Structure 1
């Protein structure tokens, strides 16, 4: 995946962050309050310098206990106001950071879940997860903390400089002359930090991808005794990320150290000159005290701005990565003015399907046709089996029918309407898919079955489970239908997972049923019961079956023989045995193996 840091290295950090402010716009009142308290606390902080001047000149030097007491009380009052304003400033800015981060995370997830499937062939899930979690967390820190610190420090810097000139012009000029020397390292090191920050985020994404893949396939790793090999490989990925992070923090450390050194060197020169003026009687001790206070405030503000500048450079990479993702347009979308499926006639039990001169190439394999010159008519209520060797294009037919991809040539129709003219929700709502490898979510049984019909009642879920021959084993689970199934249903056997998936399809009650050898993972007894349930489910529906075991499709209405993306023959079991050499060979191989 191309990264913005590589493609647009010259873009300024602030320009990269500006589009993020559209997520802040809905919270204008909170922003206004936060800015008010930010300015309020900055103003109080600046006035503390005058309090210091009064304490020294009217308290210490005058020798009056009453004046000292009153000036100290005044100082305490100002600091109390500062604490009051700081509470609201911190709370409001942190609230904004968390709120905006949550909104961005939601927007990114909403975008990802709608993207066309081919996008995920070319982009790693671990990197997308990194954008969803790490990048949004970094932006939360920037908006909720660093940005607040930067604004406050800028106010303090500008206000401090003004108060320096008000207090003593000559000493202020010393500070002003030193400012360019402080800004130069900020610009030089800040640019380097930004480039390294994006590389660091990419390295962290690599770590997440690698670890996620190993954890998902832990049984394979342990079966091949690859624990030590994977530990070493993961350690290598971690060290790569650490090396990039080391370079980044080194540049940030140089930036911060250079700013501190130059700033406090300027303050030291100022103290020398100011001390001489106090000794000569050209300024009071209170004025020098106030000036030192403002000078330190300016120095700390510059140091904070320098530190936050590095954070902003780092956040710019994350912001660009997130915005890049949000700007991707899905290649598969509903038409702006979708047609509706025509009402089924009384003599039509279910939808009719047609494939018309269809060619398709996967985006990741543009030179190899996955389907070529496909013409197929499936009548209302028919059961059609797709058979053929691995790679023949059977699963691709299912994916095209659900419009996960669009063909380069030709089209598919449902009841005479091209599926590209239908809204995606309406198209997919009429179809129910039972894959060969069932997909279960990290939730309980109830949620997994009800995925086929959101809002289904408990009674409907139980009825679907009974029809799929799943109710008995579900009842034996520790919490029954509330039992947590683990990641990808790891707590169930293959046959049990398959029956949960079948119950989900039964609950959905679709017009078109897509079965990828749905009984292949079941034992003989369970297969008999589930096949009965499927026979009931298939009644009055258009059903397409991907058949790996030919014995299960002997009695279907039509068998479609596929090879290398082409339909090579169609017919019934008996007619194909007489006319199709490929079908004959497949039958011989399977039935011979079955007789051994």
Structure 2
């Protein structure tokens, strides 16, 4: 299936990009612009962090008093004072931790929501050719999975990293203040700790990126199989789909297993090095206490600070793995945000659509789809649809009929020639304003899972319920809508799955009627209707097309006979134009198409 091939290609491209950009955490600085609006909360969280870190470091002082003045001097008063001091610190630490955790976590939630919005808002403005080479499953994975991962990182892991770094620095300062000789022993192990962090950290980031891409492939595969579930089951391909999906899952699992293995090596290596250094320090410190060089309280405080350094470094090494995953997620999200749409409004001299004559013209238009650069969809094609006239486009499959609709709506720009509205190149118009002049009724209507009101009102959000009902009546949809369980409030299911093909078509026609456009685009809008429904809808369309410029992709003679002009297309070229009678005399291709349809209808 195309989505699966696309997803795999996307993964390979992503891996190449990741390698080219290098394995570092600098990409995380791209998140600063999303965090900046909440700098007040971040500053408050940092203050709470500094407050709790300072109090935690003070616990070491309480431990020294507890041993040197409580235990050593056998003083219950000093012991009680030390215990009260430690308990008071604990209460204040818990209060500070509450504010730190709440503030940082809420910022994480808010930032991930903002990123999700920014990516979605950007994606829906991108040119359609972007989606020819990027699977929807991969894009959805970035919007959901990657932003959820960032939420966890910003709201938890990043806070832990900041706290551990601050505690590590503070504890090292206290170590120097307590005993310089023992501190140097501990610090001698730091270079040995950095080596596994640097080596394995890079591997973790590369595998994190691959893991996220592979999960996107899994989502794409599953989504496509579910979307086409009737096809899968009608061909009895459940077993094959299970096997293929299992292969995708196993590939994702293997990459995830390798990532976890590298992280485990990193964490365990740091723990061994750190606690070996502590063991060496205890030997030297214990000897000094026995020889009377330092007090037992100083050694206990020193051990407390050393353990804090060790636990902080262990936490940092563990969090670095999470930050590597965050870097991979950030990279994937930033890639989307940095994609520029090929279809944009002109930066200056924008022409207003107000007052433009609803006359459409294709002037020597040549166009190749980006995914098929060697195959012309249209070639040196010229065609004019005059205001208020009905132009039918006929031709075999692949003739370029649908391509003309896509060029007219400016989903793509032609490589040469131009498309005009009222004599103005549509590239001089705002794409949104241009599309507001048109209503499309496609052969396979796009319906949403919301209710009937939402679906008919989709192109005209400000329409009242009564206007929606009137449009449905004109489209001969009112009767079947009222027979739905909740009438116009009935939800239609994903892609309108709860309606028949003819019912979906009439909902789409009602949507176009409600929009009341100046240009109407009908892609064989009655193809899914039975004869009786087609008769009623044809009457509604005749009323709708009156005084409007209409382009129809036509296959049925019933549609063609109403057209003011028929354009015969083949392989992207305009073969002939005229009415039905003249084309039957002058155009061999048109004669053949009519004969084939006549035989088909017999």
Which of the five TM-score ranges fits, normalised by the shorter chain?
over 0.9
* Alpha-carbon shift at residue 8 of structure 1 (Å): 4.6
> Corresponding residue for 1:21?
32
> Corresponding residue for 2:6?
none
Whether contact under 8 Å (2:49, 2:96) holds in the other structure is: yes
Pick one of 287, 292, 309 that aligns with 1:276. 287
Deviations 1:418-468 (A, max 9, x none): 101000111000000000001101211111111020122111111111111
Whether contact under 8 Å (1:13, 1:312) holds in the other structure is: no
Pick one of 121, 145, 150 that aligns with 2:132. 121
What TM-score comes out, normalization by structure 1 length? Answer: 0.97
Question: Following the alignment from structure 2 to structure 1, what is the Cα–Cα distance between the partners of residues 13 and 67?
Answer: 57
- Show the 5 A alignment for 1:369-380: 369-380=376-387
- Show the 5 A alignment for 1:162-201: 162-201=173-212
Pick one of 355, 361, 372 that aligns with 1:343. 355
Give 3-state SS (helix, strand or coil) of 1:360's partner.
strand
Question: Structure 1, unaligned stretches of length 5 or more?
Answer: 345-349
- Show the 5 A alignment for 1:67-146: 67-146=78-157
Question: Following the alignment from structure 1 to structure 2, what is the Cα–Cα distance between the partners of residues 448 and 46?
Answer: 61
In terms of mean alpha carbon deviation, does 501-510 or 314-323 score higher? 314-323
Whether contact under 8 Å (1:385, 1:558) holds in the other structure is: yes
Question: Following the alignment from structure 1 to structure 2, what is the Cα–Cα distance between the partners of residues 27 and 205?
Answer: 30
Whether contact under 8 Å (1:5, 1:317) holds in the other structure is: no
> Corresponding residue for 2:313?
302
Question: Following the alignment from structure 1 to structure 2, what is the Cα–Cα distance between the partners of residues 250 and 335?
Answer: 52
Give 3-state SS (helix, strand or coil) of 1:117's partner.
coil
Pick one of 220, 230, 237 that aligns with 1:209. 220
1:393 pairs with 2:400: yes
> Corresponding residue for 1:318?
329
Pick one of 349, 363, 371 that aligns with 2:370. 363
In terms of mean alpha carbon deviation, does 467-476 or 394-403 score higher? 467-476
* Alpha-carbon shift at residue 550 of structure 1 (Å): 2.6
Whether contact under 8 Å (2:23, 2:202) holds in the other structure is: no
Question: Structure 2, unaligned stretches of length 5 or more?
Answer: 1-9
> Corresponding residue for 1:263?
274
* Alpha-carbon shift at residue 278 of structure 1 (Å): 1.3
Give 3-state SS (helix, strand or coil) of 2:536's partner.
helix
Over aligned residue pairs, what C-alpha RMSD do you find? 1.1
Structure 1: which 4+ aligned runs deviate by more than 2 Å? 1-14
* Alpha-carbon shift at residue 555 of structure 1 (Å): 2.5
Question: Following the alignment from structure 2 to structure 1, what is the Cα–Cα distance between the partners of residues 246 and 18?
Answer: 31
> Corresponding residue for 2:17?
7
* Alpha-carbon shift at residue 327 of structure 1 (Å): 0.7
Question: Following the alignment from structure 2 to structure 1, what is the Cα–Cα distance between the partners of residues 600 and 464?
Answer: 45
Give 3-state SS (helix, strand or coil) of 2:552's partner.
strand
> Corresponding residue for 2:55?
44
Whether contact under 8 Å (2:18, 2:206) holds in the other structure is: no
1:493 pairs with 2:503: no
Pick one of 552, 561, 564 that aligns with 1:557. 564
1:523 pairs with 2:530: yes
Give 3-state SS (helix, strand or coil) of 2:568's partner.
strand
Give 3-state SS (helix, strand or coil) of 2:405's partner.
helix
* Alpha-carbon shift at residue 12 of structure 1 (Å): 4.9
> Corresponding residue for 2:434?
427
> Corresponding residue for 1:534?
541
Question: Following the alignment from structure 2 to structure 1, what is the Cα–Cα distance between the partners of residues 460 and 244?
Answer: 43
Deviations 1:4-59 (A, max 9, x none): 55335353533111111111011111111011111111111111111111111122
Give 3-state SS (helix, strand or coil) of 2:189's partner.
helix
Whether contact under 8 Å (2:267, 2:317) holds in the other structure is: yes
What TM-score comes out, normalization by structure 2 length? Answer: 0.96
- Show the 5 A alignment for 1:437-448: 437-448=444-455
Question: Following the alignment from structure 1 to structure 2, what is the Cα–Cα distance between the partners of residues 111 and 511?
Answer: 29
Deviations 1:118-169 (A, max 9, x none): 1101111111111111111111111111111111111111110110111111
1:220 pairs with 2:227: no
* Alpha-carbon shift at residue 469 of structure 1 (Å): 0.9
Question: Following the alignment from structure 1 to structure 2, what is the Cα–Cα distance between the partners of residues 557 and 93?
Answer: 66
Question: Following the alignment from structure 1 to structure 2, what is the Cα–Cα distance between the partners of residues 262 and 341?
Answer: 71
Pick one of 242, 246, 262 that aligns with 1:235. 246
> Corresponding residue for 2:4?
none
Give 3-state SS (helix, strand or coil) of 2:42's partner.
helix
1:402 pairs with 2:405: no
Question: Following the alignment from structure 2 to structure 1, what is the Cα–Cα distance between the partners of residues 601 and 149?
Answer: 59
> Corresponding residue for 1:254?
265
* Alpha-carbon shift at residue 3 of structure 1 (Å): 4.4
- Show the 5 A alignment for 1:565-576: 565-576=572-583
Give 3-state SS (helix, strand or coil) of 1:98's partner.
helix
Question: Following the alignment from structure 1 to structure 2, what is the Cα–Cα distance between the partners of residues 330 and 112?
Answer: 9
Give 3-state SS (helix, strand or coil) of 2:414's partner.
coil
> Corresponding residue for 2:65?
54
